[in-house]
Homo-oligomer: A and B are copies of this chain.
Amino acid sequence: MTMTALKTENTDLYPTRLPKEEWLDRHDPAVWGKWTPQAPLTEEENASFEKNGYLVLKDLFSSDEIKALQQESSRMRSGNAAIAPENVITEPGSDDVRTVFRLDQQSLLFDRLARDERIAGRVRYLLDDELYLHQSRLNYKPGFNGKEFYWHSDFETWHAEDGMPRMRAISASVLLTDNDALNGPLMLIPGSHRTFVACAGETPDNNHQSSLKKQEIGVPSPESLARMADQFGVDFAAGKAGTVILFDCNTLHGSNGNITPFPRSNAFFVYNAWSNRVVAPFAARAPRPAFLSDRDATRSITIETGNFA
């Protein structure tokens, strides 16, 4: 091993929570696999993910499979699923369930979904590594008063507060409701994944207790967001229930509130490359709890094929 390689391993490539916000280059590819006609993505899909930092996949699942996921989702939010309170986040100002964490550990069906080749097989190709789940959750944004989720890069938080070393993780959002432009869809800034916005401000202790409701530390400044949006525009990802959105860990994203009567729900899986397992946080005194960041994965997930309904 040369000195150069050693230096790289010991240097924080993505310093953040600094006195002043900075734009830094990305040191990692977005697509780690080498595309061939046998890859689980078309050449166009591959190029689009690399360029934009996200990809929308439709018609991966049968209607029976989608129905089974929706029923399981209702059961988990019903209060009858005996989910420990530390895994549940409610809407600000109400008891409505906004998020259920550790989804794969609380539901055999969602565990199976997380390991389905149609999602995990594509992610394994993109990251070119074995996978484990850094985080998994069920999101529910009610109609009438669904709150917004402000712009952020997931990687910025995962690096600063969880100790994820490199940009080698991908999130998959599986829509469980029909989603359109008006009911608070996922908005993304295409191409933003190629820049790391190192954020200003020190991490407060137990930052996650407030940041899950409303993130204030670890978000880009309005100036940075405006500059990104002027350069790249703002897109949104939507579709019928069953649609899958894959996005890079550093793609800036957020969502507007939702006053329409139509709720929005999705299952959310964060796949991290096995070689990219978390270490000590890069910019926080203590790591976030395990429901936000699995620190104890002992083996990579086993991908399964076939209809699960």
Interface size bracket, A side: 20 to 34
A102 to chain B, nearest CB (A): 28
Partner of A256, one of B225, B229, B234, B258: B258
Interface positions of A (Cβ within 8 A of B): 143-144, 148, 150-151, 181-182, 184, 187, 222, 225-226, 229-230, 234, 236, 254-262
A261 touches B229 (CB 8 A): yes
Partner of A148, one of B143, B187, B225, B257: B257
Residue from A144, A258, A259 whose CB has the most chain B CB atoms within 10 Å = A259
Distance of A226 Cα from B261 Cα, bound (Å)? 5
A141 to chain B, nearest CB (A): 12
Given contacts A182-B181, A236-B181, A256-B256, contact A222 B148 (CB under 8 A): no
Q: Give the chain B neighbours of A150 by CB distance below 8 A.
A: 259
B256 touches A257 (CB 8 A): yes
Distance of A167 Cα from B259 Cα, bound (Å)? 25
Partner of A143, one of B182, B187, B226: B226
Question: Which residue of B is nearest A150, CB measured?
Answer: B259
B234 touches A262 (CB 8 A): yes
Distance of A182 Cα from B222 Cα, bound (Å)? 17
Distance of A259 Cα from B261 Cα, bound (Å)? 20
Question: Which residue of B is nearest A234, CB measured?
Answer: B260
The 10 closest A-B pairs by CB, nearest first: A181-B181, A226-B261, A257-B257, A229-B261, A256-B256, A148-B259, A225-B261, A234-B260, A144-B222, A254-B259
Distance of A229 Cα from B260 Cα, bound (Å)? 8
A186 to chain B, nearest CB (A): 11
B262 touches A229 (CB 8 A): yes
Q: Give the chain B neighbours of A151 by CB distance below 8 A.
A: 259
A207 to chain B, nearest CB (A): 20
A289 to chain B, nearest CB (A): 27
